[in-house]
Structure 1
Amino acid sequence: MKPALKEQILTILAEIPPGRVTTYGRIAAMTEGATPRLVARALRELPAGHGLPWFRVITASRRLADHGGADEQRRRLLDEGVAFDSRGRVAAERLWP
């Protein structure tokens, strides 16, 4: 991945406000050429202790992606007041931007 593209992804990630979520696809659309998969890759490659709100990024179906950090992601979102419905989806009103 080009460093400039990764920088765009991380800059957008840093802007997601507490209590809100966005999707891999929405972040990709705000960049100059990223795909949702590239966004996911950039998040997987975050170094330990980075402090970026990776947990605010969900799938286009408004669910958590199936990954090793999903339990922590759910906990952090719940701590910010983001609720999940019976199907595991976040309310559309919580989507940013």
Structure 2
Amino acid sequence: MRAIFFDETDAQAVVARLRADGFEAALERERLAGEDDDEDHPWAVVSDAPAFMLEVLVDTHDGWLDEGDDDAGEHTTPLAPLDLPTAPRTVKRPDLG
């Protein structure tokens, strides 16, 4: 799960708190689509801490929780490929035949 912060100090405080509580936590720069200025990119805290704990820290340090599906493919088994037709279907109208 990821927590996003615009202030680096807040993000570092969250990482320190999570590590002090025995969880893994890493700080990385979050690149937003369409954002040109590198200084405006927010900070992402990636952790294995429970969601409720991250929610409290996000509320305390003015950030938000990213519960997106970005990492979902890493933890799930891939789906089998679809069985698609190789040619268009022919539709016969009984009233013309």
Q: What TM-score comes out, normalization by structure 2 length?
A: 0.30
More helix by share: 1
More strand by share: 2
Greater Cα radius of gyration, structure 1 or 2? 2
